[in-house]
Structure formats: C-alpha cells, structure tokens
Amino acid sequence: MRDNGSVSSPDLGRARRADFPFFSSHPDAVYLDSGATSQRPDAVIDAEVDFVRSDYAAVHRGSSVATGEATWAFESARERVAAFVGAGERELVWTAGATDALNMISLGISDASAGLGDDSLALSAGDEIVLTEAEHHANLIPWQRLAKRTGAVLRPVGVDADGLWSIDAMRAVVTPRTRLIAFPHVSNVTGQIAPVGDVVELARSVGALTVLDACQSVPHMPVDVSALGVDFAAFSAHKMLGPTGIGALYGRAELLDALPPARTGGSMITTVTLDEAEFLPAPNRFEAGTQPVSQAIGFGAAAAYLSALGMGAVRAHEERIAEALVEAASRTPGVRLVGPAAGHERAAIASVIVDGVHAHDVGQFLDDRGVTIRTGHHCAQPLHRALGVASTTRASASVYTDLDDVARFGEALGEVRDYFGVTA
C-alpha cells in the first residue's frame, strides 16, 4: 500500500516479532492496541518466571540469604527503571500502576491538606489545579476528588476541534493561585506531544507543582524526568512491554519525603505504637505491604530490553509508523483523523471517526480482518465530548509494529463504510 519506498528500521518492527511469543501464537495478527497494553517479550516473561521458579522469597523482611538475594534483585530492578527515566533511585516508587501513582499524589496532598503530614504540600479553598481537557480519567478524577476534599478549584485548559490543547491556552488559565498543573506528556487519543519545558517554566513562574502523565511517552521516546524538570510523573509497566500489576511514581526527592503516604501498612514504617506510626523516607514510605516483587523484576527487564534497543531508535521507528498511520487515515474517504495535522509531530497513535459508522462497528469489522485496535472513549470522555463524538477508533504502535501492519489497517479501514452500506 505504501508507495514512497520508505522502510522502517531494520531492527524494529517485523524483526522484533521473534522476541514476542504472542506473535508466534498469532503470526498474522496486526496488533495495533499497544496504547492500551503492550505484548511482552520473552526476556520479560522469562526474567519473571525464572525468578519465581528458583529465587522466590520475601523481600525487605527477615534476614535469610534468600530474602537478601530477592531484595537485591528487586532493588536492582528499581535502579534500572529509575535510570531508564532519569530518576534517582530514591525518587522511584513502585505502585500498582500509573493510576495508582497519580492517586498516591492526590491522596497524599489531601492528607497534607487535612493536617496529616508536611503542610508545605497543603491546598486551601480557592487554590487552583490546572489540567487539560485532553486528560485521561486517571489524571482527571483524582484531582476532582482532591478539589472536593480541599475546596480547591479545577481550571481546565480547553482543546480545539482536533482535540489539541496549547501552551497559550494554558497560560491564559494559570494564575498566581495555581498550585498544581497536571498534564499528559502524550495524549492517548490524539498523540499530541506536550511542550513540557514551557509548562514547567509556566508552573515555576507561579510556584506551582507539575504532574506529568507519562504513560504514553516513557514507552515510546527518550524521557528524562530530571532534565524535563517536572515534579512528579507516573507510568505503567504494561504499556512498555512489562507486566501488568506494576507501575511507577516519580517524584523529586524532597517532595517525596514531604508527601504523606496514602496507603499505610507493613514495611513502610520505623516505629509503630497502637496510637502512632512513623514513616520511612521515600521510596519505602509509599510501599506499604508486600510489593509486586516478581512484577518489579519483569519491569526491570522491560526497561533493559528497551534500553538495549535505544529509545532514540524506538522514537525514530515510531515516527515513521505515525506518518504512515496519518497517511492511511487521511487518504480514506469518509474518515476523519483527530489530533495533529499531517506533517506535525505526533506519537504513533491515530484515532479516527468513520462517518456514518459507529466506532464499535468499525472495530468489529477491523477485528474480523485480523486488525486489533481499540474503540471507545479511551478513558477520555471530556476530550470526546469536545470532538463531538462518544467514541473513536484508535490504532497505536510499539516496537514490534511494522509498516505492513499500518497497510493492513488502512486497507480494512477503506472497506468499512461499504460493508455497512454507508454511501460515500
């Protein structure tokens, strides 16, 4: 289908499929739902399974050699994931996922505001939280709840008809009462990439904290949270070739030590009496209870796998995929592509609206053609409301995605309206 003769990176795309057992089971699968969750390579599965089969033991509790070795493996995984995103070791907290990480921040600030911990992070009635209309629910509802608990006010940055927000629109919303700006590094619907530097500068100019939803960036491009200068960031392992059940919270060291832990229990304390508990410094203060131990080993292996590919190369590969996705959608009659226009920077995510055919039906048709994509509101109802639709059809890529996949997607997309008898 592609006629400009460009090829994707020789090391990525089809060449990588051999590493992913999912593709041995489904050799013809066109898996374009990596934005929802990615497949896992053998290296990740084996790291976890080998650990579970031979080296499994409790970590950070007790003194046995087995515990020592398991703790060592667990902490090495932390170092690896921290290094992968440019965080210090003490700045990386294991969480149940990105959603959990974002809640950890908002619930912690709630407790700080209620006088349960360092009040440097407390919000008062009338303080403002800025976020975008493009937010995934995970980076929206926790702030709604925080606002309800503290009397703070949400100040949304609107999106345009293509679903895009701008730094100018954000500047117009930020005031001296802005205490926190939450925003998506990459939108999971439009693929828009945020001008992080500008947002950080804006936040600093009013003394606000920044919270970066890095779910869709960390798996797909080089991300260095320290260099970006954000205060907090969240991402999930399962979108970056790692296991489900684990994610990470990044926070600048002094902020993490000040943030009250929302989840409490074992292994995060120093001294506990019946009345009081004193908490450890970060990251352990946030890691109450038995941690996702084998998942951390898998997460570390995923970071190592991506590091070996090189995130610059991954981004370059996915830029070519993104271009091809845009081209495929743009050339199909009756299909409207949301997000950045052709020729503009975007992640390898393309959401489309097929005129006259509901997204569920589009999805079912593509599925029948062996093309797995995602339909629905993608946990971004406000953004879809702004786009004027209840749902869209989204294709999203990863390191194993190839231009052939995009071609198969484009082909099937071209047949949808015919099948449902919609006249062009």
Ligand X SMILES: Cc1ncc(COP(=O)(O)O)c(C=O)c1O
Applying CB under 8 A, the residues found at the interface with another protein are 60-65, 67-69, 71-72, 267, 269-271, 280, 357-361, 364-365, 368, 375-377, 381, 384, 390-391, 419-421
**Alpha carbon distance 310, 228 (integer Å):** 19
**Alpha carbon distance 421, 147 (integer Å):** 48
Q: Which member of 170, 256, 311, 379 is catalytic?
A: 379
The item of another protein, a second copy, ligand X, none sharing an interface with residue 423, based on CB under 5 to 8 Å by kind, is none
Distance of closest approach, residue 8 Cβ to another protein, in angstroms: 30
The item of another protein, a second copy, ligand X, none sharing an interface with residue 82, based on CB under 5 to 8 Å by kind, is none
Task: Please name the amino acid found at residue 46.
Answer: D
3-state secondary structure at position 394? strand
Closest to another protein by CB, 27 vs 421, is 421
Closest to ligand X by CB, 110 vs 188, is 188
Sign of CA dihedral 41, 45, 50, 55: positive
Question: To which residue do tokens 């052939």 refer?
Answer: 404
Closest to another protein by CB, 56 vs 420, is 420
Distance of closest approach, residue 312 Cβ to a second copy, in angstroms: 27
Distance of closest approach, residue 51 Cβ to ligand X, in angstroms: 18
Q: Which of residues 33-52 bind a second copy (CB under 8 A)?
A: 33, 36-37, 39-40, 45, 49, 52
Find the Cα–Cα–Cα–Cα dihedral 12, 406, 195, 175, rounded to 10°.
-140
Distance of closest approach, residue 56 Cβ to another protein, in angstroms: 16
Closest to ligand X by CB, 332 vs 351, is 351
Name which of 127, 161, 197 is nearest 387 in CA terms. 161
At residue 288, φ and ψ (nearest 5 deg) are -75, 135
Binding of a second copy by 66 (CB under 8 A): yes
Give yes or no for a contact between 317 and 13, defined as CB atoms under 8 angstroms apart: yes
Does an H or E element contain 408, and which? helix 403-419
Give yes or no for a contact between 207 and 237, defined as CB atoms under 8 angstroms apart: no
Interface residues toward ligand X, by CB under 6 A: 97-99, 136, 138-139, 184, 188, 213, 215-216, 236, 247, 266, 289-290, 379
Among 9, 190, 284, 375, binds a second copy (CB under 8 A): 375
Token reading at 196? 């992080």
- Where on the phi/psi map is residue 354: left (φ > 0), alpha (ψ -120 to 50), or beta? beta
Distance of closest approach, residue 339 Cβ to ligand X, in angstroms: 13
Q: Give yes or no: 215 in active site.
A: no
Closest to a second copy by CB, 55 vs 198, is 55
Binding of a second copy by 388 (CB under 8 A): no
Distance of closest approach, residue 55 Cβ to a second copy, in angstroms: 8
Per-position DSSP letters for 181-234, written without gaps between them: EEEESB-TTT-PBP-HHHHHHHHHHHT-EEEEE-TTTTTTS---HHHHT-SEEE
Distance of closest approach, residue 344 Cβ to another protein, in angstroms: 28
**Alpha carbon distance 65, 415 (integer Å):** 61
The item of another protein, ligand X, a second copy, none sharing an interface with residue 40, based on CB under 5 to 8 Å by kind, is a second copy
Token reading at 270? 């120093």
Binding of a second copy by 291 (CB under 8 A): yes
Q: Which stretch binds a second copy (CB under 8 A): 82-90, 142-150, 200-208, 399-407?
A: 142-150
Distance of closest approach, residue 139 Cβ to ligand X, in angstroms: 6
Closest to another protein by CB, 237 vs 354, is 354
Binding of a second copy by 112 (CB under 8 A): no
**Long-range CB contacts (< 8 A, 24+ apart) of 196-200?**
196/228, 196/229, 196/230, 197/228, 197/229, 198/167, 199/167, 199/170, 200/228, 200/229, 200/230
**Alpha carbon distance 283, 59 (integer Å):** 15
CA-to-CA separations, 381 to 32, 163, 376, in angstroms, rounded: 21, 12, 9
The item of another protein, a second copy, ligand X, none sharing an interface with residue 216, based on CB under 5 to 8 Å by kind, is ligand X
Token reading at 39? 């497949």
Binding of a second copy by 267 (CB under 8 A): yes
Closest to another protein by CB, 203 vs 357, is 357
Binding of a second copy by 288 (CB under 8 A): yes
The item of another protein, ligand X, a second copy, none sharing an interface with residue 56, based on CB under 5 to 8 Å by kind, is a second copy
**Alpha carbon distance 81, 411 (integer Å):** 38
Q: Which stretch binds a second copy (CB under 8 A): 198-206, 319-327, 368-376, 412-420?
A: 368-376
Catalytic residues: 379
